[in-house]
């Protein structure tokens, strides 16, 4: 009997409280609930983990030893579970060789397509080159009009200096009578006579075989008149000509017949240009088009498209400084190096008549070029002096030094520059000379997904090429179509996956899975709507629905209202987070869940609870702002943007409109360079003004707060240092002489040395998954016995680490410095998190709120710019409510909060909106509008305004003030 449900009994993973439920198969299931309520524990750590474990158990013990085996989840039983595939929200590969095209396997299909159906071109003259067999050449010549005169020539010397006497003599020995020298047909004996003779009349006078000039010498293999009887003779002549000239042949044709006018038709049995034999290719193969293969990669940059070079902008960060001080690598070295560099600069100023106090920016262009790149022979003749140049000096030192310290220091002044040989195209010249539809493989991958879909859909090939390419084109069009359907049409195929957001990378993997056409699988997705504008939600839901229609179960952990309402089955986990969650509050159809009186999700969906509009919008000061002039990085179209300070500012727009480029690449990196002297290179722009109004810039993203289990909220926020200091001041600690370091589990002294402060031990089980057991010596407390004897109000340091934030807040009520940080964690909605909870178990949303709490816990300075990229990721409606309260607190202290966001509840609460678009990719990069939310909704060009309109009601709109 086929089970129609996935039955879970007694799930206790993490905070789940013995959960038992049935999930219908082959439907769209949405898990929702507060952040930290147990959704991911149920979907990923229970359902997915068990599906993977059962599949791995079906493999042989030999195969299992090569896999990272999964521990059995804490669950009594799971029945009816199909094979599971997790499509998690995680950052794309940081490997610079990984692109959208390679990740989706489209590039593999393109390599086959160009190798089998591409047309090679000469990279010198641009004309097509083709490989033809002797039979094909014979057929081509026989198609000429009957009676046409033809000479079959074999090119023996092509554009080479010399008299070539030995070639002419060899032709005579082989029985040839005639040749063509530099376009003149003559007898070989006349050509030999012409060597060294010029200015004579007749044939000999027309030939000038000067040894200092380049010549072309071709043997006349045969002279024919086209008629059917000559086919066999022509075939013999063609084979002989190809053999003599290593696969090349020229047919000299009188055209039209009887006119006396001759034209050349070149043929080749190899991929070679008849006019430029150096432009030749081996047989086309897929590896020629791979930038990860030595056969296809550019030999200069090895297929990366970029090389590390010294960057003038990093070497001279402040151009207002005097010439003698402007070269930053020449400063702050060792004493001897400083003396040497100073002497070098004094000699330069003396030789080239430059005042040492002249600002670098005021140097004449010619003098600046000499300073940075050194003198040319022309410069040396003009100035009667030579100078090596700053960049050559640094390059020489980089190449010759063996010191890792010097290399690390010099590396700060280097940046990635496009490879000069391939111009950033990654491939060899030979590969780039092969084209389909007028484009080479690099030009096709530089297209956006939408443009590529249009190109391949309208591609017309010749009959033979079309038959070869048909199955490949079908697969390429299919995969491009799926990616367009999930809202990724604005991405270019050559975009590095490391630059993608978690949501974009997840949707790419989703499109790849849709393209695979698997059925009978359970897909588990983690918030696929991340980074997706409301406009594109329908297309994503349609894709998820397609997966269920072909016979798959799709389980989505999601907070997006549209996705929840589109589900077949909704499971609401709660009621609270952490230890207050882990229960099923409501399950069933959307209507059934909405009718639940206990579900917080239902209250927000029905409007019983809602995030209300602010009573007023803060007045934004036009004269105090950070202004970007001429932003043109990626798809930004040389725009000027003002970010007003002292308010809550939202940057909005459809996916790919340029939001992250503007905020993260230009504003954030530009401010870091201005305020902290960062070596990060900002995105391309002309100027960044108004930096004097900002004294600090802080990025609060969703990256983990630590990458090891030792990192936790207490250590990250700094509250653990204060707690350890408190314990070191207790009476017993003073008697024993314990300092605050004694209460750290990261250093020797107070930690348990048996497990080295981990609390658990890892036992290798070979072909079974590793087992983590609680340390017997410390019973999982991480500290040794003596440390645990020190107590404050009856609690040891280990007891404090196991406290939830809400418990610790009451426990340390008397200590304001500790209470301030704990209160901040409580305010951002982390009351349920344990102080010592491992950072690896925190979700992206929780990690971001820990960072927010860390900033809130510090004394307010004002004039700080906080930059957040989609802070609502992983947050429930109720969590967003808390988040907005926290962000408004930061603004009320005189700071500025700059947020990239798609969530309408956040956007409607902003004081100022900068809306980019109107479309993504090439169709974006301009400012659609900027102003209050009320102003944005009045603009018919703004997609954000169209969806925001129903969130604003006339009753709550209040004039800015």
Are 505 and 87 within 8 A, CB to CB? no
Give Cα separations from 762 to 13, 756, 780, 783 (angstroms): 19, 12, 13, 18
**CA 96 to chain CA centroid, nearest Å:** 8
Asked if 105 contacts 509 with a C-beta cutoff of 8 angstroms, the reply is: no
Between CA 29 and CA 633 the distance in angstroms is 40
Query: Of 382, 508, 409, which is closest to residue 87 (Cα–Cα)?
Result: 508
CB atoms within 10 A of CB 860: 13
User: Coil, strand, or helix at residue 671?
Assistant: helix
Q: Which tokens sit at 669? A: 């990196």
Distance CA 192, CA 99 (A): 60
Candidates 275, 271, 300, 277; CA nearest to 435 is: 271
Whether residue 575 is preceded by a cis peptide bond, meaning omega within 30 degrees of 0, is: yes
How far apart, in whole angstroms, are the C-alpha atoms of residue 219 and residue 274? 15
Residue corresponding to tokens 């990690």: 847
Phi, psi at 482, each rounded to 5°: -65, -40
**Half-sphere exposure (Cβ direction) of 808: Cα atoms closer than 13 Å:** 34
Q: Where are the beta strands (DSSP E) in 472-590?
A: 522-526, 553-557, 569-574, 583-588
Neighbours of 283 (CB within 10 A): 9
3-class DSSP state of 842:
coil
Which class for 930: exposed (0-12), middle (13-18), buried (19 or more C-beta within 10 A)? Answer: buried
pLDDT of residue 961: 37
832, 37 Cβ separation under 8 angstroms: no
- Note the helical H segments in 486-589: 502-516, 537-549, 561-566
pLDDT of 957 reads: 39
What dihedral do alpha carbons 313, 869, 450, 925 form, nearest 10°? Answer: -50
pLDDT score, position 316: 87
Do the strands 119-120 and 434-436 form a parallel or antiparallel pair, or are they unpaired?
A: antiparallel
The token duo for 501 is 């957001």
* Burial call 182-197: b when 16+ CB within 10 Å, e when fewer: eeebbebebbbbbbee
- Give the model's pLDDT for residue 570: 96
Instruction: Give me the residue label for tokens 């952490």.
Output: 578
Residues 6+ apart with CB under 8 A from 464: none
Q: What are 54's two structure tokens?
A: 């059962």
Which pLDDT belongs to residue 730?
A: 94
pLDDT of residue 958: 39
**Which residue spans within 804-934 are E strands per DSSP?**
864-869, 896-900, 912-917, 926-931
φ/ψ of 617, rounded to 5, equals -95, 135
For residues 237 and 402, give the distance between their C-alpha atoms in angstroms, rounded to a whole number. Answer: 63
At 850, list the tokens.
Answer: 């820990």
- pLDDT the model gives residue 197: 66
Phi-psi region of 899 (alpha: psi -120 to 50; beta: other; left: phi over 0): beta
CB-neighbour burial class of residue 810 (10 A; exposed 0-12, middle 13-18, buried 19+): exposed
Does an H or E element contain 899, and which?
A: strand 896-900
The model's pTM is 0.77
CA 801/CA 836 separation, integer angstroms: 4
pLDDT for the residue 835: 92
Give me the pLDDT at residue 143, please. Answer: 87
3-state helix, strand, coil in the chain (%, to 5): 40, 20, 40
- For residues 339, 341, 347, 349, the Cα torsion angle rounded to the nearest 10 degrees is -120
Neighbours of 156 (CB within 10 A): 21
* Sign, CA torsion 709/711/714/719: positive
Across 513-532, b (16+ Cβ under 10 Å) vs e yields bbbeeeeebbbbbbbbbbbb
E strand or H helix that includes residue 689: strand 687-689
Q: Is the bond into 541 cis (omega within 30 degrees of 0)?
A: no
What's the pLDDT at 1? 45
Backbone phi, then psi, for 327, in 5-degree steps? -80, 100
pLDDT profile of the chain (961 residues), mean per 10: 81 91 94 89 91 80 67 88 82 76 91 90 81 84 89 89 90 92 89 71 70 89 91 93 87 83 82 68 83 89 88 85 87 80 89 88 89 88 88 89 86 85 90 91 92 92 87 91 85 86 77 80 88 83 90 93 94 88 93 92 91 87 88 92 94 90 93 84 90 90 75 91 94 93 90 88 62 81 92 94 92 92 88 86 78 80 86 86 88 92 93 92 90 93 91 52 37
Do 901 and 501 meet the contact criterion of CB atoms below 8 Å apart? Answer: no
Number of H helices and number of E strands within the chain?
40, 33
Residue 37 is encoded by which pair of tokens? 């309520």
* Beta strand 896-900 pairing with 648-652: parallel
């Amino acid at each position: 009997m086929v089970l129609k449900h996935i039955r879970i009994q007694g799930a206790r993973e993490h905070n789940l409280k013995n959960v038992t439920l049935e999930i219908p198969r082959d439907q769209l299931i949405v898990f929702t609930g507060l952040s930290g309520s147990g959704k991911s524990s149920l979907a990923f750590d229970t359902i997915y983990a068990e599906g993977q474990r059962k599949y791995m158990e079906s493999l042989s013990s030999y195969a299992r030893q090569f896999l990272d085996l999964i521990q059995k989840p804490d669950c009594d039983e799971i029945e009816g579970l199909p094979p599971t595939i997790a499509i998690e929200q995680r950052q794309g590969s940081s490997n610079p060789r990984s692109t959208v095209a390679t990740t989706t396997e489209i590039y593999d299909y393109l390599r086959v397509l160009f190798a089998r159906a591409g047309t090679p071109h000469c990279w010198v003259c641009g004309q097509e080159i083709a490989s033809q067999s002797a039979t094909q050449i014979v057929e081509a010549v026989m198609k000429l009009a009957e009676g046409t005169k033809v000479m079959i020539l074999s090119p023996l010397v092509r554009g080479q200096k010399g008299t070539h006497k030995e070639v002419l003599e060899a032709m005579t020995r082989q029985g040839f009578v005639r040749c063509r020298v530099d376009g003149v047909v003559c007898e070989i004996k006349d050509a030999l006579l012409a060597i060294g003779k010029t200015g004579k009349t007749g044939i000999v006078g027309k030939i000038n075989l000067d040894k200092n000039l380049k010549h072309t010498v071709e043997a006349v293999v045969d002279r024919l008149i086209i008629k059917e009887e000559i086919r066999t003779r022509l075939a013999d002549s063609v084979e002989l000509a190809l053999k003599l000239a290593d696969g090349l042949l020229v047919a000299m044709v009188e055209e039209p017949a009887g006119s006396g006018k001759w034209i050349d038709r070149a043929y080749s049995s190899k991929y070679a240009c008849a006019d430029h034999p150096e432009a030749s290719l081996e047989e086309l193969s897929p590896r020629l088009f791979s930038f990860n293969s030595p056969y296809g990669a550019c030999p200069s940059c090895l297929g990366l498209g970029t090389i590390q070079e010294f960057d003038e902008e990093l070497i001279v960060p402040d151009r207002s400084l005097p010439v003698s001080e402007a070269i930053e690598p020449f400063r702050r070295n060792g004493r001897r190096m400083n003396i040497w560099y100073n002497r070098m600069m004094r000699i330069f100023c003396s030789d080239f008549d430059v005042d040492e106090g002249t600002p670098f920016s005021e140097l004449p262009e010619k003098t600046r070029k000499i300073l940075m790149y050194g003198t040319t022979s022309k410069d040396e003749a003009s100035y009667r002096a030579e100078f090596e140049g700053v960049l050559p000096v640094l390059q020489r030192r980089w190449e010759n030094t063996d010191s890792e310290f010097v290399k690390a220091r010099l590396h700060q002044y280097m940046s990635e520059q496009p490879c000069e040989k391939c111009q950033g195209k990654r491939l060899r010249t030979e590969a780039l000379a092969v084209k389909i539809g007028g484009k080479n493989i690099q030009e096709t991958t530089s297209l956006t997904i939408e443009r590529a879909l249009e190109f391949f859909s309208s591609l017309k090939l010749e009959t033979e090429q079309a038959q070869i390419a048909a199955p490949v084109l079908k697969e390429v069009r299919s995969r491009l179509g799926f990616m367009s359907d999930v809202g990724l049409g604005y991405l270019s195929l050559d975009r590095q996956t490391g630059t993608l957001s978690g949501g974009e990378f997840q949707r790419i993997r989703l499109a790849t899975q849709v393209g695979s056409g698997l059925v009978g699988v359970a897909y588990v997705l983690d918030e696929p709507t991340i980074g997706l504008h409301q406009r594109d939600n329908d297309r994503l839901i349609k894709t998820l629905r397609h997966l269920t229609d072909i016979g798959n179960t799709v389980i989505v952990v999601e907070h997006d209202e549209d996705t929840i309402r589109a589900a077949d089955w909704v499971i609401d986990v709660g009621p609270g987070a952490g230890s207050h969650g882990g229960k099923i509050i409501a399950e069933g159809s959307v209507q059934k869940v909405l009718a639940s009186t206990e579900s917080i999700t239902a209250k927000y969906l029905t409007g019983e609870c809602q995030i209300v509009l602010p009573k007023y919008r803060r007045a934004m000061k036009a004269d105090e702002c950070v202004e970007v002039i001429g932003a043109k990085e990626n798809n930004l179209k040389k725009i000027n943007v003002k970010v007003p300070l002292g308010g809550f500012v939202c940057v909005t727009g459809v996916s790919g409109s340029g939001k992250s480029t503007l905020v993260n690449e230009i504003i954030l990196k530009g401010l870091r360079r201005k305020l902290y002297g960062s070596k990060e290179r900002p995105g391309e722009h002309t100027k960044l003004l108004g930096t004097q109004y900002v004294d600090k810039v802080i990025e609060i993203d969703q990256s983990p707060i630590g990458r090891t289990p030792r990192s936790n909220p207490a250590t990250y926020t700094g509250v653990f240092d204060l707690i350890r200091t408190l314990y070191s001041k207790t009476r017993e600690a003073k008697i024993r002489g314990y300092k605050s370091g004694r209460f750290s589990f990261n250093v020797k002294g107070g930690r348990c040395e048996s497990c080295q402060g981990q609390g658990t031990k890892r036992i290798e089980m070979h072909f079974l998954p590793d087992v983590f057991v609680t340390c017997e010596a410390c019973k999982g407390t991480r500290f040794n016995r003596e440390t645990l004897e020190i107590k404050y109000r009856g609690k040891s340091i280990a007891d404090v680490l196991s406290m939830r934030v809400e418990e610790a807040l009451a426990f340390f009520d008397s200590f304001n410095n500790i209470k301030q940080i704990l209160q901040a964690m409580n305010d951002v909605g982390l009351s349920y998190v344990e102080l010592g909870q491992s950072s690896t178990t925190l979700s992206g949303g929780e990690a971001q709120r820990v960072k927010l709490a860390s900033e809130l816990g510090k004394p307010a300075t004002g004039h700080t710019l906080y930059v957040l990229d989609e802070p609502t990721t992983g947050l429930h409606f109720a969590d967003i409510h808390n988040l907005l309260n926290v962000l408004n607190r930061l603004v009320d202290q005189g700071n500025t909060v700059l947020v990239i966001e798609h969530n309408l509840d956040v956007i409607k609460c902003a004081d100022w909106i900068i809306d980019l678009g109107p479309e993504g990719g090439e169709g974006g990069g301009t400012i659609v509008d900027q102003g209050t939310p009320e102003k944005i909704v009045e603009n018919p060009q703004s997609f954000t305004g169209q969806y925001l309109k129903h969130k604003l009601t006339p009753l709550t709109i209040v004039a800015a003030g």
